[in-house]
Structure 1
Amino acid sequence: MGSAITMRNAEQTGMISSENTSVFKNRNFLFLFTGAFFSAPGYYVYLIGVEWLMLSITGNRSLFGFLFLAASVPRLLFMTTGGIIADRFNKRTILFLSDLSRACLVGVILILVMNNQIAPWHLITFAALFGVSDAFSHPAVNSLTSTILEGEQLQKGNALIQMTNQISPILGPLAGGSFIYLVGFKGVFMLAGAMLLLSSLTVFQIRVNKTKERLNNIGAWSEFKEGIAYVRNHNFLASVMVMALFLNFFVTGPLSIGIPLMVKDVFHADALGLTTLEVSLGGGALFGSILLASIGAIKKPGYLMLASITLFGGLYAISGLGIGLYINAGLFLCIGFLLQFVNVPLITMVQQTTDQAMIGRVLSLLMTVSTGLVPISYLVTSSLIAAGISIQFITITGGLVVAVIALLYFKNQKILSFSYE
């Protein structure tokens, strides 16, 4: 990683470099963690509300798929721009504006619902605007984590941030599904808006030393090309990004679209059935995050990541059989657990092999490349469903392909030989 900082600078930025010191004694990380604890579940409350609302107001299942496509396209288009901005401007301010804008968007949806004027095109439009916001927030939060933490604390910090992201599919759907069932759509969108607003106010309390912000006169296009050149000359980063590109294509569309459709059309369950599967996925992810946060640095993160992907693909293919709601809940519990043994080592490896001056652009490029085929994944999944191909067949095929890709990557020595600094 970058050069060591002095204790004086550590105090100014809220960074505590001792690996034996709790990350929660770091003021900035505490606010970042708290903000993420509100933001991520708030987003999932919004998401489950929008998903079930779309399924309730239209029977067009391919149109439902376009709800996810609408969010993924602007996220892809603006992700690299978000990384450049994260390297040039105050990351705290970016996160604040992102959460505040999403709270305002949910407020508009609430008004439309209260006036009984909501339509599918409204939900698709707001999904696109949420995608724009995500494109700026994700590079900012990941690069900010590596700015305020270092060493072994970085793995713990990443695991804790991932924990807030993965507790979201527990708290978010649990609260959202319950509110839909007991209160209705008005209640679920009020809750989502309040949580996103609280997150924006919390992250605004983060204070980062201005000397840590990168100020220069290099144009955005030049910075973009600089980031591309950096990754192309970095064999490890290039290998990881190519792998992520194909894995996301075969998983993201079928998984995101498939869970609600399996609940509605295969298991014939209600919003609480959707909550069951989402909570199971999040519960497994939460357990995985807690475990990673409590252990030391992994000796062979590359091996662990590839083994987890292989097993994930197999279990995901089995879930496509649609044996039963609660059997799938158990499978998703294991799948969520395994995902953390992919995500946390991956992000930490990228952070530790990237110069701090490039971290925002590299992380945004990773997300851009890894999600580059996600809009196509949504489009292909929606098109296949419209053509009469079952979501079960799509899920089984996707899981098997993921397992094969992971097995092929066991020949990649750059990933297998990686060790934390």
Structure 2
Amino acid sequence: MADSWTSLLKNKTFVLVWLSGMTVMLGFSIFFLSVSWFVVDEMQQPAILGVVMMTIAIPRVAMMIYGGVLADKIQKSRIMFTTNALQVVVMVVLVVLVQQDALQTTSLIILAFVFGFLDAFFFPAASAMIPSIIPVHQLQQANSWYQGSTELMFIIGPVGAGLLLTFGGFAFAFSAAAVLIALSTILIYPPFLKDPVPEARSGRPTAWMDLKEGLAYVRRSGIHRSGTMVIITINLLMIGPLLISIPMLISALGGAPWQLSLLEGGFSTGTFLLSVLLVTWSLKQRRGRWVLGALGVSFFLLLVFSQVEALPVLVIVITLMGGAGMLVYLPTITMIQEKTDNNKLGRVMSLVNFASSGFEPIAFALISFLVAASISIQTVLMYTSVTGMVLTGLLLWLSPEFRQTD
């Protein structure tokens, strides 16, 4: 394993992509928290915070699949470099408006929309980059290290943003985020990475033809089909409901803001620790069974989470849920990447990212609707966990190819 990790560090392209991923995620984390606090504290309009977040999320989800089509046609580093550079421009405009006290609701929503739109092209290219530059036998270690590092940035980011806002103000925090995104842009400069350029395809296929080809490719493969369903299931019925339920649960239990931070930090810590474990633990046998087993454990832990009220127990359970969720996600992503042809990586990974990102907002809406109908959040989580366990059983029964994959 040490030799495997040493060879990863000797892969200059991977190291640059890894460092770029960490800096951009740290910049994003600082940006998101700073925007949230700007809306609530500076603009005094907490009611529009959801609108701003949706303005970032909707174009990102809507355009993500087309971003994958593009990633199969254009050098991936070129896409990542261009989108990051344009996001730096957005951040500079944001800083200027804040300094001149001219950032209003309309301008913030427009900037948020552009930022989310650019993300739709960055992430499919980034997801398809690693399997195009890493040998198959090292994919689990590379994915785990990359994912663990980015999860760590989302733990560090809010703390850093709080310090920047406390000692420097909003312009300083947004400037720091812009510098980090600019550093990421430099690290993925295409002549530095020298990643493969997709081969020119015969004919002139349209984006719609490329997308249909990618969808057909996923439907034909039991591993791709079942893996995508696994990711949809855990995001729709575990991660999405959990993320939106934390503040509701703390409020229902009469808790304080610091307790909210403990729960959110516990989940991130679990995902980070499991990612680090998978760097050193080569999960090569019965991966499909490990994934489906971890999926069932995730929903069992969610059931426990919905029934207890003691904060120490909730923190322990949510930390375990973060680890179980990552044990579902990372091996599934690796198996899908291993079974995907290089000329379809962009489209397949964009569909996987859509399954990951596109169903969380649906979960947010469903949970909000049920709670608004006077159903307690504990009851909603209980039924969600039971539904997840039933679907896990169906996946075990109906996905023999995925279940038996090593």
- State yes or no: 1:81 paired with 2:61: no
Which residue of 1 is the match for residue 14 of structure 2? 29
CA shift in 2, pair 1:196/1:209, >3 Å: closer
CA shift in 2, pair 1:245/1:337, >3 Å: closer
1:259-304 deviation per Cα after TM superposition (whole angstroms, max 9, x unaligned): 455567755544x655443332222211111110112243111111
* TM-score, with length taken from structure 2: 0.86
Which residue of 2 is the match for residue 191 of structure 1? 176
Counterpart selection for 1:311 from 297, 306, 312: 297
Counterpart selection for 2:23 from 21, 30, 38: 38
Indicate conservation of the 8 Å contact 1:33/1:161, yes or no. yes
- State yes or no: 1:339 paired with 2:325: yes
Which residue of 1 is the match for residue 272 of structure 2? 286
Which stretches in structure 1 are left out of the alignment for 5+ residues? 1-17
Which residue of 2 is the match for residue 12 of structure 1? none
Which residue of 1 is the match for residue 155 of structure 2? 170
1:286-331 deviation per Cα after TM superposition (whole angstroms, max 9, x unaligned): 1111110112243111111122222222333444567355544333
Which residue of 2 is the match for residue 104 of structure 1? 89
Question: Runs of at least 4 residues of structure 1 off by over 6 A?
Answer: none
Q: Aligned ranges for residues 371-386 of structure 1 at < 5 Å? A: 371-384=357-370
The amino acid across from 1:414 in the alignment is: E
- State yes or no: 1:357 paired with 2:343: yes
Which residue of 2 is the match for residue 6 of structure 1? none
Which residue of 2 is the match for residue 150 of structure 1? 135
Aligned counterparts of 1:321 and 1:55: Cα–Cα separation in 2: 32
Aligned counterparts of 2:273 and 2:22: Cα–Cα separation in 1: 16
1:5-32 deviation per Cα after TM superposition (whole angstroms, max 9, x unaligned): xxxxxxxxxxxxx957520100100100
Give 3-state SS (helix, strand or coil) of 1:22's partner. helix
User: How much does 1:223 deviate?
Assistant: 1.2
1:228-262 deviation per Cα after TM superposition (whole angstroms, max 9, x unaligned): 12112112212222333343223454344344555
Indicate conservation of the 8 Å contact 1:267/1:325, yes or no. no
Which residue of 2 is the match for residue 4 of structure 1? none
Which residue of 2 is the match for residue 233 of structure 1? 220
Aligned counterparts of 1:129 and 1:90: Cα–Cα separation in 2: 22
Aligned length: 398
User: How much does 1:51 deviate?
Assistant: 3.3
- State yes or no: 1:366 paired with 2:352: yes
Indicate conservation of the 8 Å contact 1:65/1:381, yes or no. no
- State yes or no: 1:407 paired with 2:406: no
CA shift in 2, pair 1:203/1:410, >3 Å: same
Indicate conservation of the 8 Å contact 1:83/1:136, yes or no. yes
Aligned counterparts of 1:181 and 1:281: Cα–Cα separation in 2: 25
Give 3-state SS (helix, strand or coil) of 2:20's partner. helix
Aligned counterparts of 1:223 and 1:82: Cα–Cα separation in 2: 11
Indicate conservation of the 8 Å contact 2:13/2:195, yes or no. no
- Supply the RMSD in Å over aligned alpha carbons: 2.9
Aligned counterparts of 2:92 and 2:337: Cα–Cα separation in 1: 36
User: How much does 1:335 deviate?
Assistant: 2.0
User: How much does 1:183 deviate?
Assistant: 4.6
1:30-56 deviation per Cα after TM superposition (whole angstroms, max 9, x unaligned): 100110111112212222223344444
Which residue of 1 is the match for residue 57 of structure 2? 72
User: How much does 1:109 deviate?
Assistant: 3.6
Give 3-state SS (helix, strand or coil) of 1:51's partner. helix
User: How much does 1:352 deviate?
Assistant: 0.9
Give 3-state SS (helix, strand or coil) of 1:88's partner. coil
Aligned counterparts of 1:102 and 1:353: Cα–Cα separation in 2: 33
Which stretches in structure 2 are left out of the alignment for 5+ residues? none
Which residue of 2 is the match for residue 417 of structure 1? 404
CA shift in 2, pair 1:114/1:84, >3 Å: same
The amino acid across from 1:404 in the alignment is: V
